[in-house]
Chains A and B, each alone.
Chain A
């Protein structure tokens, strides 16, 4: 067994553990933050500040009876939670967690890239895999043989198709800027600071302090991407699939025990992935101040994780914040926002940012 293979297995296990523990933490954070925003307390019984509430819930779900609906189509019904869970683990594979790690094992110098797989078509892989999740909702809705989940499934497919387009189009300017579809390249393209287009003394200095993250030149694309990401993971205010008030929870009602837990897990891992992807595309991924003259050299190994974690949890907080604030959109409003709002805007933004880049590279066509 080669060392590279062993390292890959260790990486996979670490990421698996990270995603699972992170989900437990995230559910607790969400419940606490939403409770705080609604003048409640939230879970506070299990452990200090109720931090073990999710663990207790998971144990409860494991021990619960698995109910099988009478009209369910068996194969599809059992497949749907798996289809939900697997892609959510796959997406995290392409996210770079830090710079290459230099290890010396048995006198061998090994560069360990801190990314599951540095695909040269990473962006396409992300778009493809995140669309697989729609199948789980459609399958779950259809196979349970119940009308409300079916409606939820139909909604999900329409919603995801329309927002997938905006999501993909919002990434295009980022790809144009980075000149690559590999996420590692996209991160490294954001290294350094902005260069000022003007040469006014003070403004120039201030602009040169801002890191060269894509969010600053690509703010519109960031907004479009973020809205589409919220819709893509079916979070409020775009949670029409579950819509407690109209669809009585959609397919969630048809699943019980650990199959339900799998959907739940997938939802939260997807949320985490989306925030990690957004941080990578627009917020410079693991990049951040290194403080190399203050901190010991070992810190340079851990700081990228810290910066990525801070960015991801900041974005997750916004996800939760939006959920606690906004009411659910009506179906026609959802479609209107997708097709009349986000897609035309993102198309216009692609043209605008390519023009800017072209002019910067080659000068004005008449100049």
Chain B
């Protein structure tokens, strides 16, 4: 009798399931929410005045466990400087086939030049085009990430302002809850990214000091 009870119990479960919403995401058609700190493709950010944030220090290439980043820095041209500092990233290449999306490059970057996005459509026709260079990685003049080929509209621009690198880079004290002051300069396109829970922006901290 227990078997018959179990049989009908099982049938009941599947019948109830028939009236619940499906969990399928209709992927190429519909936008799908991607969580904060999603480790997608990298981008190279720019300052709000349009100059590149990368200073060609090669720390990202040094820290990369998969050895997929190749950077060569060069002195800024004096007339028309590409980045605010002395040097800039002359060559910047990431081999997307080797990258393990660990975001150590994002943590290592002293100028927040490289961050991760929620972009994940990275299919290529051959192995050579899987090496993304500055043409693809560097954001365009409006601050939007560029793409190696046409993408479906899967990224909400708001996602980019919550990119993962910001979280990690603002916790130099090693606390897991990232309690610290956001010491970020604004990026082209996204501006100064809003603080998360437990964080304060530099300007707010100054306000606090003024009050004291």
Contacts and interface: CB of A to CB of B under 8 A. Distances in A.
Interface of A: 33, 35-41, 44, 321-322, 324-326
Contacts of B22: 35-36, 39-41
Nearest to B18: A36
A39 B23 contact: yes
Nearest to B9: A325
A325 B26 contact: no
Nearest to B21: A39
Interface in B8-35: 10-11, 13-15, 17-18, 20, 22-24, 26
Given A33-B18, A39-B20, A321-B15, 5 more contacts: A37-B15, A38-B17, A41-B22, A44-B26, A325-B11
Contacts, number: 33
A40 B11 contact: no
Contacts of A325: 10-11, 13-14
B22 to A, nearest CB: 5
30 contacts: A33-B18, A35-B22, A36-B17, A36-B18, A36-B22, A37-B14, A37-B15, A37-B17, A37-B18, A38-B17, A39-B17, A39-B20, A39-B22, A39-B23, A39-B24, A40-B22, A40-B23, A41-B24, A41-B26, A321-B11, A321-B14, A321-B15, A322-B11, A324-B14, A325-B10, A325-B11, A325-B13, A325-B14, A326-B7, A326-B10
Nearest to B20: A39
Contacts of A39: 17, 20, 22-24
Size bin of chain B's contact surface: 10 to 19
A44 B28 CA distance: 13
Main secondary structure of the interface of B (DSSP, over half): helix
Contacts of A322: 11
A37 B23 CA distance: 11
Nearest to A327: B10
A226 to B, nearest CB: 13
Return the 9 tightest CB-CB contacts between A and B, nearest first.
A37-B14, A41-B24, A325-B14, A36-B18, A39-B23, A41-B22, A325-B10, A37-B17, A324-B14
Contacts of B23: 39-40
Contact of B24 (A33, A37, A40, A324): A40
Nearest to A36: B18
Nearest to B10: A325
Contacts of B26: 41, 44
Nearest to B26: A41
B20 to A, nearest CB: 6
Contacts of B14: 37, 321, 324-325
A243 to B, nearest CB: 20
A324 B11 CA distance: 9
A238 to B, nearest CB: 14
A38 B21 CA distance: 10
B109 to A, nearest CB: 42
Contacts of A33: 18
Contacts of A44: 26
A322 B12 CA distance: 11
Nearest to A34: B14
A214 B14 CA distance: 28
A324 B15 CA distance: 10
Contacts of B10: 325-326
In this complex, the member of B7, B11, B14, B26 whose beta carbon has the largest number of chain A beta carbons within 10 angstroms is: B14
A40 B15 CA distance: 14
Contacts of B7: 326
Contacts of A35: 22
A77 B119 CA distance: 52
A41 B22 CA distance: 6
A33 B17 CA distance: 10
Nearest to A326: B10
A346 to B, nearest CB: 17
A304 B63 CA distance: 77
A75 to B, nearest CB: 43
B8 to A, nearest CB: 10
Interface in B58-73: none
A333 B15 CA distance: 25
A324 B16 CA distance: 12
Contacts of A38: 17
A51 B14 CA distance: 23
Contacts of B15: 37, 321
A37 to B, nearest CB: 4
